[in-house]
Amino acid sequence: MPMLEDEVRRLMADETARLRAAPDLLERVIRADRDRRRRAKAAAVAASVIASVAVVAAPVVYLTAGSTAPVGGQATTSAVPEPPAIDDTPPVRTEPETLGDLGDGREFGHVKVGYLPDRLRWGNWSVNHGDSYTTSWNYKGDSEGSYRVQIFVYENAAVQELDDRLRIYREEGEGEDVTVGDRSGYLVVTNVGEDGMAGTPTLFLKMGDAQWAEIMFSPVYAKEFSGPEAVTAELRKIAEGLTSTM
């Protein structure tokens, strides 16, 4: 047995020996699950209330000759508030390798961004890992390092990593294969538990055999839209406008 592997194993044992699972872990897990079910139920109730109010409100709008009642506005106030997303957390800056000054951020690496939703501006940062790189867009006034839309590009060897991730999503029954124009893709809400379980709406787009893009909406940004369908529609529009310069 090689000595380095043995030593790594021993050092890891030394480092983790002091760790013990919290006594209330089980309780927290079960409580979180109940909370999640409660939120889902509340959201479903809120949605049904909105739908019923819309049906009732329709004749009112007609009878008052053009007045536009805020049909959805009152009903949505009954929704259970979501826990804050981690995207709101002020970041601690580090200095990874970047793609440099991208101007308006509409062209970076080997891709061009043809469409972005209104008001988004380049977030003035990027990360460049060589065969994968990324940048993002946010609103003027957003905290530095936060994102609303982010695009991650995988090229050449990095595509394998993405293939692996997509295989896991498929095995887990999460997300669905989609087509965007004549290109294939995969639509999923990624959820790694750090965003109040809201998840990150994500569209993976195959731009070529050696190039994929991952388009993400932050959970915070996704809440600005009327629902998952509206978010998906915007993700698709961004994907449609994304072109390769490889």
Partner 1 sequence: MSGVEHDFGAFVAARATSLLRVAYLACGDETEAEDLLQTALERTYRKWDRVSHDNPEPYVRRVIVNAAISRARRRAVLSIVPMHSPPERPARAGDPDLVHVLMDALRALPPRQRAVVVLRYWEDLSETQTAEALGCSVGTVKSQASKAMAKLRSALGRDTVEGVIKNAHA
Q: Which residues bind partner 1 (CB under 8 A)?
A: 3-5, 7-9, 11-16, 19-22, 25-26, 28-30, 32-33, 36, 86-87, 89, 91-94, 96, 125, 127, 134, 136, 145-147, 150, 152, 160-161, 164-165, 167-168, 171, 190, 192-194
Q: Contact at 8 Å (CB) between 139 and 116?
A: no
Taking alpha carbons only, the member of 235, 58, 82 closest to residue 149 is 235
CB of 11 to partner 1, least distance (A): 4
Rg (CA), the chain: 22
- Using CA atoms, how far apart are residues 64 and 68, in angstroms rounded to an integer? 9
Residue 214, exposed/middle/buried by CB under 10 A (0-12, 13-18, 19+)? buried
- Using CA atoms, how far apart are residues 240 and 218, in angstroms rounded to an integer? 19
Q: By C-beta, is 73 or 91 nearer to partner 1?
A: 91
Q: By C-beta, is 147 or 221 nearer to partner 1?
A: 147
CB of 63 to partner 1, least distance (A): 47
CB of 241 to partner 1, least distance (A): 21
Q: By C-beta, is 31 or 58 nearer to partner 1?
A: 31
Q: Which helix (H) or strand (E) holds 26?
A: helix 25-63
CB of 184 to partner 1, least distance (A): 19
CB of 96 to partner 1, least distance (A): 7
Tally of CA atoms within 13 A in the half-sphere of 189 that contains its CB? 12
Q: By C-beta, is 164 or 229 nearer to partner 1?
A: 164
Residue found by looking up tokens 């109730």 in the block: 45
CB of 162 to partner 1, least distance (A): 11
Q: By C-beta, is 22 or 65 nearer to partner 1?
A: 22
Q: By C-beta, is 23 or 59 nearer to partner 1?
A: 23
E strand segments, the chain? 107-108, 111-113, 121-128, 132-138, 149-155, 176-180, 183-190, 200-208, 211-217, 242-244
